[in-house]
Amino acid sequence: MAQLLHHRLHLQTAGSFCCHDITPELQTLIDRSGISDGLLVAVGQHTTTALALNENEQRLLSDIERFFLELAPPDRPWLHNDLDLRVGIPPDEPRNAHAHLIALMLGNQLSLPVVEGRLGLGRWQSVLLVELDGPRPREVLLTLLAGQCTAL
* Residue 96 confidence (pLDDT) above 90: yes
Task: Please state the pTM of the whole predicted model.
Answer: 0.93
* Residue 69 confidence (pLDDT) above 80: yes
Span 7-62, pLDDT tens digits: 999 999 999 999 999 999 999 999 999 999 999 999 999 999 999 999 999 999 99
CATH number at residue 9: 2.60.120.460
The answer to the question of residue 34 being in a domain is yes
Q: Residue 28's domain spans which residues? A: 3-77+95-146
CA angle 90, 135, 96 (to 5 degrees): 50
DSSP-assigned beta bridge partners for residue 43 = 109, 141
How many structural domains comprise the chain?
1
The answer to the question of residue 37 being in a domain is yes
Residue 100 makes CB contacts below 8 A (sequence gap 6+) with 47, 48, 80
